[in-house]
Structure 1
Amino acid sequence: MGASSWWYVTRYQEDFGQALRVLQDEVLASGDFVDPAEWGMPVLRSPVDLFENEIYWEFLGTCGTHSVLDVNRVIDAEAAPELGAVLPVSVAEVLERYGTDQPTRDDLVGPDEQLPMMDTMPKWSGACMVLYADGVPDEIAFWGVSGD
């Protein structure tokens, strides 16, 4: 199937891990992902199943869902990128990319937009950053790369 990128925006929560779980539940409910059931596996009932139920491990490691379901945790912004993890973008990188430490959803609009770290992140991982509205945290953007 090849590698593909994905990105989503969800409402802001202080806890990025909780925001990730809420977003994953929304994506699972939407059906907008490569479904392991199409590969003869049981219907995916929870995003957690991909990482905790070994019946899905080969699927996850070879094809994946090509969505935010392919990551399972948010790690510290100072950490190195990890397989299956979402890394928050540093303030320095946000400033360099957008000229402000408070980017808005409008800053992401445009077909040529290159999200921070997209060309350097390993497959099966992601990144995130806070988006602001009127100087207040409003949303969190999540993006990443899935597939082989």
Structure 2
Amino acid sequence: MELWRDPEWHEYIFTGGTSSVLDFPLMIEAADTDDGPFMRPLTDDEVRAWAPHGRPTYEEWDAALDSEQLDFPRRARGNCTVLYRDGRPAQVAYWGVTAD
């Protein structure tokens, strides 16, 4: 947490970074359209576009990525969503594009 207060670390992350999920310093609101580097959860409508019941499983998420029903975000952005097993939250899925 200390690093996120360091201006030199900001310069490193925002101009090159680690080329991983570590490049996303914070999560923004699902409806926020700000440019990255941020992690953004999907809106309910975005989830229901590929999982109509609104409680996607890992298998549904994986199939949505493979079939391109679910897009990758633009450069320096990440998305995430809760995945369910037996109707209960079980995992968080993260996917995105690094800034490099």
User: Which TM-score band (shorter chain)?
Assistant: 0.7 to 0.9
Spell out structure 1 runs of 4+ moving beyond 4 A. Answer: none
* Alignment of 1:136 onto 2:88: yes
Match of 1:63 in 2: 16
Q: Are positions 1:112 and 2:62 aligned together?
A: no
Aligned amino acid, residue 83 of structure 1: G
TM-score (norm 2): 0.76
Q: Which amino acid aligns with 1:116?
A: L
Q: 1:1-148 to 2 correspondence within 5 Å?
A: 49=3, 51-109=4-62, 112=66, 114=68, 116-118=70-72, 121-148=73-100
Higher relative contact order (CA 8 A, sep 6+): 1
Whether the 8 Å contact between 1:128 and 1:140 is mirrored in structure 2 is yes
Distance in 2 (alpha carbons) for counterparts of 1:102 and 1:140: 12
Question: Residues 125 and 109 (structure 1 numbering): CA distance in 2 closer, same or farther, change over 3 Å?
Answer: closer
Q: What is the distance in 1 between the residues matched to 2:34 and 2:88?
A: 27
CA distance in 1, matches of 2:89, 2:78: 20
Preserved contact between residue 94 and residue 101 of structure 1 (Cα < 8 Å): yes
What is the alpha-carbon distance in structure 2 between the residues aligned to residue 69 and residue 115 of structure 1?
Answer: 26
- Judged with a 3 Å threshold, the aligned counterparts in structure 2 of structure 1 residues 60 and 114 are, in CA distance, closer, same or farther, namely farther
Amino acid aligned to 2:52:
G
Q: TM-score, normalised by structure 1?
A: 0.55
Q: 1:81, CA displacement in angstroms? A: 3.5
% of aligned pairs identical?
29
Structure 1: 5+ residue stretches without partners: 1-45
Q: CA deviation at 1:98?
A: 2.9
Aligned residues: 99
Q: For the residues of structure 1 that align with 2:31 and 2:61, how far apart are their CA atoms?
A: 23
Give the Å deviation of 1:59: 3.0
Tell me which amino acid in the other structure corresponds to 1:133: R
